[in-house]
Structure 1
Amino acid sequence: MIEYRIEEDSVGMRLDKYLRKRLASMPTSHLFKMIRVKKVRVNGKRAQPEQLLAAGDVITIRGDEKQLLGPSPDGPRPPPPPPPVDPSELVVLLEDEWMMAVDKPSGMAVHTGSGITGGTLVDYVRAYLGPKAVRNDFTASPAHRLDRETSGVILVAKRRPAMVHFTEVFTHSKARKRYITLVKGKMSKDSGVIDLPLSEHQQTAESKARRGVNMQEALTRWKVIRQSSEVALLSCTIETGRTHQIRRHLAAVGHPVAGDRKYGDFAFNRDVRARWGLKRLFLHAERIEFPHPQHGGKVAVEARLPPELKDILKRAALEPS
């Protein structure tokens, strides 16, 4: 855990700006997520990105200090910068002065980390925007996450107020997300709800030892689009945004997502790869609906199912009639 006490020269500064200076190596979207999931507190209370700091305020940040602060200036030299990316490859679904919506392909990580040093969505977005990626000390950043192997719509904030807005939107579940997925087995009914708490995905060992496993409310609604005796194509919406929620929920009820190497069925994955050529996770973020950060009006963005997943449906005889 890290603790900071606010001195006079930082009075009146916004919390998010103060933390970006203190945790310079942390991606902006990670920082906002930490605030959103209550890992950042001011005077022991839940923090807000836009709140102004006062003299004597105490900021506490949960997490490993070395990871939060990044490499020491006296430590080993950082790796060379990643090779440049081709911004023309970025599929932009919607863009204005406040935000972008892009279609992330499967296999592309949103951020660096866990051995990923380049070719991320962040790299593509910033290469695409060029000098316009930075505005008033804020660098354009994804406003939420998608798993590396999941394709589909993801929102990017181009201005700090947009990031603050999206943090509020995702914290209070004001965005509606719809996913398309292929799962093992035939569903027993046309639609249903999975209301099953999930353990906190990144809970520290210290936290588990102190208060046990932290279970979080999680709710997934699903509807059958088409199915056979072997597999079902589902439309899923989530009312909470837990890590790997759809994958964990469907696996828990006996219908793991096709191609899921973490929570899925190994023999089933091997079979659909051999028969239908599925080489990735069959999970696609098809649609997101949200209030716009500038005017608050409802905006909906959709990303079509990728060609490789359409091909799987054809081979599985699940094409639209």
Structure 2
Amino acid sequence: MTPDPQMAFDDLCIGADLAGLRLDQALVKNWPHKSRAAWQKTINAGLLLLNHETCRSPAKKVLPGDQIRVFWPAEQDYKLLPENISLEIIFEDDDILVINKPAGIAVHPGPGHAEGTLVHALLYYAPEIFAHMNMQELRPGIVHRLDKDSSGVLIIAKNNRTENALKTAFKQRQCLKLYLALCRGGFRQTKGEINSPIARHPTQRKKMSARHPGGKEAYTSYQVLEDNGKAALLKVNILTGRTHQIRVHLASIGHPIAGDRLYGADKKHALFLPQRQMLHAWSLSLTHPATGEIMRFQAEPPDDFIEAMHKLQLEYPSFEGDTPQHSALP
């Protein structure tokens, strides 16, 4: 099979954790939703590029800095079946469900992840609720999203009235979204703002860009919490919610997020890249759509985020006096 130019794809830069493995083994570790046998079929079908050339050898050993591109054939029909996937619940009432989403799980079905998504977990957790909401768009209860490899606070609507209210609140920028990001260090100032429109990259359809015309308004502000020159920990606030916004904006100013193979990886930095992008949705504040109460939800970063901080010789701050109403502890 020859990949169609319009076919969806994902890129991977091989780091030290995957170097030396067979190609099919490295793919299983990075995309565990597919079995090794399934990856071998993908490779043999010619749907993988290794350093910009088609590779049909599943047994080929990969090296640090190798660039891999996997093409995903269009899937005609997604089957939304309940799946027993654990949910870490921060808060729940009759109208909303707030969870701490782990990295590695997509929010809803799409190319490359037809199964194992948050939507499948919701259908198992409360089928009497989510099986009757927005099924045609495959997103029952979903009012905002996090990238598959990002972790943190996500709010879900439990009825159509709440879903409409929350979507309006996000659209009208009535929600305060704070993230923690590990990125390349060396900031000259402790605070900053990035106000660059974001558009689809003209030649790489999986990427967004802050350097091409025709983009949508995007606003990001950040505060440097720790910076040792090599790496930094930021608290980030976004007013808009463009695709890959924080990742694109930080990369555009020379501070790509650690582990971000789409916007920040190269051979020079491959040896110390974490397995995923170190971006965590730390806090979400909003007005409850039914009660009118102002609520704040918080989730502490997962273990791999803290471990990456330690490897990059950064300390996690205490955030004294910053106690939320509802939180998920590590």
- TM-score bracket relative to the smaller structure: 0.5 to 0.7
Greater Cα shift, 174-183 or 130-139:
130-139
Aligned equivalent of 2:283: 287
Instruction: Indicate if the aligned counterparts of 2:306 and 2:316 stay in contact, CA closer than 8 A.
Output: no
Instruction: Indicate if the aligned counterparts of 1:221 and 1:238 stay in contact, CA closer than 8 A.
Output: yes
Distance 1:181 1:196 in 2: 19
Distance 2:303 2:104 in 1: 15
With over 3 angstroms needed to count, the CA separation of the structure-2 counterparts of 1:160 and 1:231, relative to structure 1, is same
In the alignment, is residue 98 of structure 1 matched against residue 95 of structure 2? yes
Shift of 1:182: 0.8
Aligned equivalent of 1:154: 154
Shift of 1:123: 0.8
Q: What amino acid is aligned across from residue 175 of structure 1 in structure 2?
A: C
List aligned pairs for 1:1-321, cutoff 5 A: 78=77, 81=79, 85-87=83-85, 89-134=86-131, 140-199=140-199, 213-267=213-267, 269-273=269-273, 278-320=274-316
With over 3 angstroms needed to count, the CA separation of the structure-2 counterparts of 1:137 and 1:226, relative to structure 1, is closer
Q: Which has the higher helix share?
A: 1
Distance 2:268 2:179 in 1: 21
Instruction: Indicate if the aligned counterparts of 2:225 and 2:233 stay in contact, CA closer than 8 A.
Output: yes
SS of residue matched to 2:120: helix
Return 5+ residue gaps in structure 1 as ranges: 1-66, 72-77, 206-211
Shift of 1:246: 0.5
Q: How many residues align?
A: 234
SS of residue matched to 2:126: helix
* Higher RCO by CA contacts (8 Å cutoff, separation 6 or greater): 2
Shift of 1:200: 5.0
Distance 1:228 1:86 in 2: 42
Greater Cα shift, 191-200 or 152-161:
191-200
Bigger radius of gyration: 1
Superimposed CA distance per residue, residues 173-210 of structure 1 (whole angstroms, 9 cap, x where no aligned partner): 111100001111311111111111112579xx9xxxxx
Q: What amino acid is aligned across from residue 182 of structure 1 in structure 2?
A: L
> What's the RMSD between the two structures over aligned residues?
2.7
Return 5+ residue gaps in structure 2 as ranges: 1-73, 206-211, 318-330
Distance 1:82 1:135 in 2: 12
